[in-house]
Amino acid sequence: MVCLLLIPAFVQAADSPEWPQFRGPAGQGHAAARDLPTSWSEQENVAWKCPLPGKGWSSPVIAGNEIWLTTAIDSPLSEAEKAERLKGTTNSQPLLVSGKLSLRALGVDRSSGKLLHDIELLVEPSPQGTHATNSFASPTPVIEAGKLYCHFGAYGTACLDTVSRQVLWTNRDLVVQHENGPGSSPVIWGDLLIFHCDGSDLQYIAALDKRTGKLAWKTDRTGAMNSNPQLKKSYGTPLVAEVAGQPLLLSPASDWLYAYDPAGREVWKLPYEKLGFSLAPRPVVGHGMAFLCTSFMQSELLAVTLDKEKPQIAWRYGRQVPQVPSPLLVGDEIYLVSDKGIATCLDALSGKVHWAERIPGNYSSSPLLAAGHIYCSNREGETTVLAPGKEFRVVGTGKLDGQIMASPAAIENSIYLRTDKALYRIAGQK
């Protein structure tokens, strides 16, 4: 059997950021944090609370003593202006429309919780509508030593020098019709900043030179899709993995899982065999397989072998599979939290279900493994803490004011949770 490993792109260098991207160092939702609380409230185990301007569902990234997020500050429209903006749309989903957007990076002091930086990166004069449950700043930025890369989908991408706080470059050349707003987070691969551009009109993956912001390559999706444009859009985030000693970019899109080499050449693609679109979950890898969720219309969890000459679907599972939250692989078990709050534990090798239980609330945030527990945060501001294992066990709960759409970050002895109004540092009493 060929060994599948994650490329440790962020953990080799001594000065690498502690939480550099969506879902942590390897993008898998695993944290090396310790001594974390399993219960909290507005009055208990909150080290600090930092109110945040604007609206954004991007997750926090952390480097040194600074936490970075993105946000969007909009200019409200009149009802007549909203109606005019929505005229002619073919999207049946509930949409929010806005006037001019200021797209910004926020820097928070990790020790004190003070908002240190509020920096405008881009201005969008006439944004597309976004789904009522989405925001205009949902993609999570990626950070490395001294540089923050912020992506806002069709509204552009920007690189910020986190020391001088100067915007080093912007790129607004890659535009697609998202229909429901931006959602795909970028990933760094060597000198490339890579992200998905899967709209209803155009579907491709693009790489920018992270030093200049100029286009390095752009590769169209080649798999056949449904003729309905609404079934072509997706919001997935790619993952860099090493397969048989070869680095590959695993890229989930509508109806197909793609693999690309560093030059943007398609190495292979695998059909889901059933309709799958509007993908938001990020894949996880282990045991020679990639595990991904197909989202709409009826989401399935696919286990795709990566240790064979050709990838194939080893098993599939189709009950209460998340459409937005990403899966979590812990040892030999894979955990799911559906949008409607069904938590499921399956055997990763066979797909056998160990348990499926309801936990409170509705979910967009992806689960986090930290300090030996699984943290599941819902849209209602509550976090259910589970014990990993073949038996379902709740070990604690936390409750904050507001809505949690972003995924958590955790380093050292703290969890960082973003609500719709504030960023919290959750830490046990010393």
- The CA distance from 147 to 162, in Å, is 6
- Mean pLDDT over the full length of the chain: 93
- The CA distance from 151 to 195, in Å, is 8
Q: 24-54: per-residue pLDDT in tens?
A: 999 999 999 999 999 999 999 999 999 999 9
Q: How far is CA 221 from the centre of its chain?
A: 21
Beta carbons of 291 and 332 less than 8 angstroms apart: no
Beta carbons of 334 and 325 less than 8 angstroms apart: no
Say how many C-beta atoms besides its own lie within 10 A of residue 309's C-beta: 8
Taking alpha carbons only, the member of 152, 129, 160 closest to residue 56 is: 152
- The CA distance from 20 to 17, in Å, is 5
How buried is 331 (Cβ within 10 angstroms: 0-12 exposed, 13-18 middle, 19+ buried)?
Answer: exposed
Q: How confident is the model at residue 96 (pLDDT cuts 50, 70, 90)?
A: confident
CA distance between the termini of the chain: 47
- The CA distance from 269 to 225, in Å, is 13
Q: How confident is the model at residue 86 (pLDDT cuts 50, 70, 90)?
A: confident
Mean pLDDT of 369-393: 98
Mean pLDDT of 306-310: 82
Q: Mind spelling out the 3-state secondary structure of 130-184?
A: EECCCCCCCCCCEEECCEEEEECHHHCEEEEECCCCCEEEEECCCCCCCCCCCCC
Residue 3: what pLDDT?
42
Beta carbons of 249 and 269 less than 8 angstroms apart: no
Mean pLDDT of 44-70: 98
Residue 430: what pLDDT?
60
- The CA distance from 233 to 307, in Å, is 29
Q: How confident is the model at residue 11 (pLDDT cuts 50, 70, 90)?
A: very low
Mean pLDDT of 214-222: 99
Pick the CATH number of 4-84+93-427 from 2.60.40.420, 1.10.10.10, 3.40.50.720, 2.130.10.10: 2.130.10.10
pLDDT at 15 over 80: no
**Can you give the pTM of this predicted structure?**
0.94
Residue 149: what pLDDT?
99
Q: 232-250: per-residue pLDDT in tens?
A: 999 999 999 988 778 999 9
Residue 17: what pLDDT?
64
Token pair belonging to 216: 């390095």
pLDDT at 14 over 60: no
